[in-house]
Amino acid sequence: MTAFSVWAPRPSTVELVVVDDGTRTVHPMIQEADGWWRPVTDVAWHAGIDYGFLLDGEGPYPDPRSRRQPEGVHGLSRTDDPAEHRWSDDDWAGKPIDTAVIYELHVGTFTPEGTFDAVTTRLDHLRSIGVTHVELLPVNGFNGTHNWGYDGVAWFTVHEGYGGPEGYRRLVEACHAAGLAVIQDVVYNHLGPSGNYLPLFGPYLDDRSSNTWGTTVNLDHEQSAEVRRFILDNALMWLRDYHVDGLRLDAVHALVDNGPVHLLAELGEAVDRLEAETGIPRLVVAESDLNDPVMFLPRPGDAATAEGSGSGYGLDGQWSDDFHHAVHVNLTGETTGYYADFDSVGALAKVLTRGFFHDGTWSSFREREHGVELDRSTTAPWRLVVASQNHDQIGNRAVGDRLTATLPPEKLAIAAALTLLGPFTPMLFMGEEWAASTPWQFFTSHPEPELGTATAEGRIAEFEKMGWDPAVVPDPQDPSTFTNSKLDWNEVGEPPHAAVLEVYRALAAIRADLPPGDALRLSDVRVSFSEEERWITIERPSIVMVVNLSDEALPLGRIAPRFGELLFDSRAVLEGRTPHGEALVDSPPVSVLVARLP
């Protein structure tokens, strides 16, 4: 590709429009092989030029690979030169993947300012709770001023309201200087409903299929090779040009790819090559609803590992929603919709020892069998990323209520312990560490009134199957829905928030001393439990965790015979006291105890 080249196999003519220093010029373009166009004559390129493309005389439309959209997704593109930035993280060596603690945040609501620079002021706080990887919800261009990020249409851009490309680079540098890796959430399964001009250029979408969010991306039909290249180049852009340490791939189960090599395998291979070139570990995690280890099993032709050989996509891991569901139901008692199958302590026990609850079992919500059984003897549980709260499981509730809205601190401490000290890779959602009282709701800012109305109506329809009252659903287009979702940092030092924060800090200190995740297999996790008395004891190498879900004290010697030096007592931490030196006799009601294995 040359400067200002563009892939546009659909139009008969393409012209480049350039606005440089206030002067507008139009340059004819010539079509080359495979649908690519380039200017007939060289056009001077430097950072800060506004430009677009006329397609058969219509437009100008923004560049599909635009790096900046200063006037929004409908405006002209603007050139950005990543080589002009002088990076300060040359000594950054990355962070180990198997000991990661991920913190998911939305830039627009994490701070009052809602910018990349404002995020940097809170990095010490993240380090205090043991965070190693900061995961940003999508930051690429969308129509409007605020959005979750999953309505993006300009995949190569960085939202100007957050600080644009330069602000993003400053954030990555600040994270690296603080010893924190950065994961970028990216969306390749669909495009947003406003500002998507890609179909005018070429067959980016496959009209023959759709998913929950719209028409699927063309990965395996005519001219799909360039669409796949578009996605792979975007993924590598974040890792290479922005020094990002990993990617979270949104809803990969919605990718339709029946080609000989799945896009995910191709992407995993490309990232592995970059990792080998730079020596910096890169984490690629798929959000998958399939409950299938194909995501992280080695690719065909790759060297076999202890976890298997030759049958997977070779990514690093995947989300496990089953963990969330099991924790949520056992703490809240909520059993509507997809929570119905998880109404037992046994469901939590199965998830902790087998990774998935649905591993070929009947799913009442899906009304079919679902999932694939993991090999306990070979699967490293760090491959599964788990959370007791995340943007989906909060924001997709009717009123965007966190666990804080219904659970006391004692139960929040149990959720924290299961997440941070369980066998999996923990992910925290912004604010959960101090039991933030602010909701996190679904918000949009579509300029088109009809689109805003359709979005609101669609949300109401989604909640019918979950049994939630549609009358309480906030209007996504109401600006207050966005502002209400911003964290209130004034809560951090106030009761009971400060006590919950101390729980997270104490648990983080214990986790930091655990053996590396690569040394652990699912078969190393041992669980005993009682459905009737509602307790569960989890043993993993070096520690034992006793969770009492009941309102009664239970004899510790009976439910945890292998209980050594006490490391953590949730009740004591919440009450601001140090446990007495004498040996514990009982497991307190609604509590979690952590001890060394004798």
User: Could you tell me which of 549, 540, 532 has the C-alpha nearest to residue 588?
Assistant: 549
Expressed in percent and rounded to 5, the helix, strand and coil fractions of the chain are 30, 20, 50
Beta strands at 102-105 and 77-78: parallel, antiparallel or unpaired: unpaired
In the numeric block, which tokens belong to residue 3? 């400067």
Please tell me whether 272 is known to bind a ligand. Answer: no
* Euclidean distance between CA atoms 132 and 179, whole angstroms: 7
Please tell me whether 252 is known to bind a ligand. Answer: yes
- Residue ranges of alpha helices (H) inside 315-376 are 321-332, 345-354
Please tell me whether 325 is known to bind a ligand. Answer: yes
- The answer to whether 479 touches 423, Cβ cutoff 8 Å, is no
Query: How many CA atoms does the CB half-sphere of 594 hold within 13 Å?
Result: 25
Please tell me whether 89 is known to bind a ligand. Answer: no
* Euclidean distance between CA atoms 495 and 418, whole angstroms: 23
User: Could you tell me which of 398, 420, 411 has the C-alpha nearest to residue 475?
Assistant: 398
User: Could you tell me which of 110, 173, 171, 164 has the C-alpha nearest to residue 141?
Assistant: 164
Please tell me whether 473 is known to bind a ligand. Answer: no
Please tell me whether 250 is known to bind a ligand. Answer: yes
In angstroms, how far is CA 586 from the centroid of its own chain? 39
Cα–Cα distance list, 456 to 24, 103, 477, 485 (Å): 40, 29, 8, 17
Please tell me whether 249 is known to bind a ligand. Answer: yes
* Euclidean distance between CA atoms 313 and 284, whole angstroms: 11
- Helix or strand holding residue 25 (H, E): strand 23-31
* Euclidean distance between CA atoms 523 and 525, whole angstroms: 5
* Euclidean distance between CA atoms 313 and 238, whole angstroms: 20
Exposure string for 423-434, b = 16+ CB within 10 A, e = fewer: bbbbbbbbbbbb
Query: How many CA atoms does the CB half-sphere of 431 hold within 13 Å?
Result: 26
Please tell me whether 396 is known to bind a ligand. Answer: yes
- Diameter over CA atoms, the chain: 84
- The answer to whether 191 touches 210, Cβ cutoff 8 Å, is no
214: left (phi over 0), alpha (psi -120 to 50) or beta: left
- From the candidates 98, 135, 206, 250, which is the catalytic residue? 250
First to last CA, the chain: 63
- From the candidates 287, 307, 410, 432, which is the catalytic residue? 287
To the query of whether residue 287 is one of the catalytic residues in this protein, the response is yes
Please tell me whether 375 is known to bind a ligand. Answer: no
Q: Say how many C-beta atoms besides its own lie within 10 A of residue 396's C-beta.
A: 16
* Euclidean distance between CA atoms 560 and 542, whole angstroms: 14
Please tell me whether 392 is known to bind a ligand. Answer: yes
Residue with tokens 């912004």: 430
Please tell me whether 221 is known to bind a ligand. Answer: no
Helix (H, G, I), strand (E, B) or coil at 71: coil
Please tell me whether 395 is known to bind a ligand. Answer: yes
Please tell me whether 220 is known to bind a ligand. Answer: no
* Euclidean distance between CA atoms 131 and 178, whole angstroms: 11
User: Could you tell me which of 546, 549, 544, 512 has the C-alpha nearest to residue 525?
Assistant: 544
Phi, psi of 319 (to 5 degrees): -70, 150
What residues are designated binding site? 248-253, 321-325, 391-396
- Which residue numbers are catalytic? 250, 287
Binding residue ranges for substrate: 248-253, 321-325, 391-396
